[in-house]
Amino acid sequence: MARRLLSLALTVDQHDSGDYAWRILESPDHLAEFEPLVEGALPHATYIDALKAGCDALLALCEDPLVGPMEDAMPDEFQGDDDL
């Protein structure tokens, strides 16, 4: 079976309290519909801090960052920035 690149998106949201949180979304069928895959457990004071933490989490999903996150290469118990 050929390995397939995951269809993922990284987003950063600002909460009413003013802090920021990242979330990685996945489109399981590679269409326009995305659903949450993982999100950071810790709030961030700035947008850039949340974005960097989300990028780190996204890279952690990659067995090889030069190839990207593949369907069969994701860790079984990936949690987010608590695991980094």
Domain count, the chain: 1
**CA gap 25, 83 in Å, rounded:** 18
For tokens 């390995």, the residue is 3
* pLDDT tens digit sequence for 3-62: 788 899 999 999 999 999 999 999 988 777 999 999 999 999 999 999 999 999 999 999
pLDDT at 32: 78
Long-range contacts of 48-53 (CB under 8 A, 24+ apart): 49/20, 50/12, 50/20, 50/21, 50/22, 51/10, 51/12, 51/22, 53/22, 53/81, 53/84
pTM of the model: 0.77
Task: Kindly tell me if the per-residue pLDDT of 77 is higher than 70.
Answer: no
User: Bigger pLDDT: 84 or 72?
Assistant: 72
Domain encompassing residue 21: 1-84
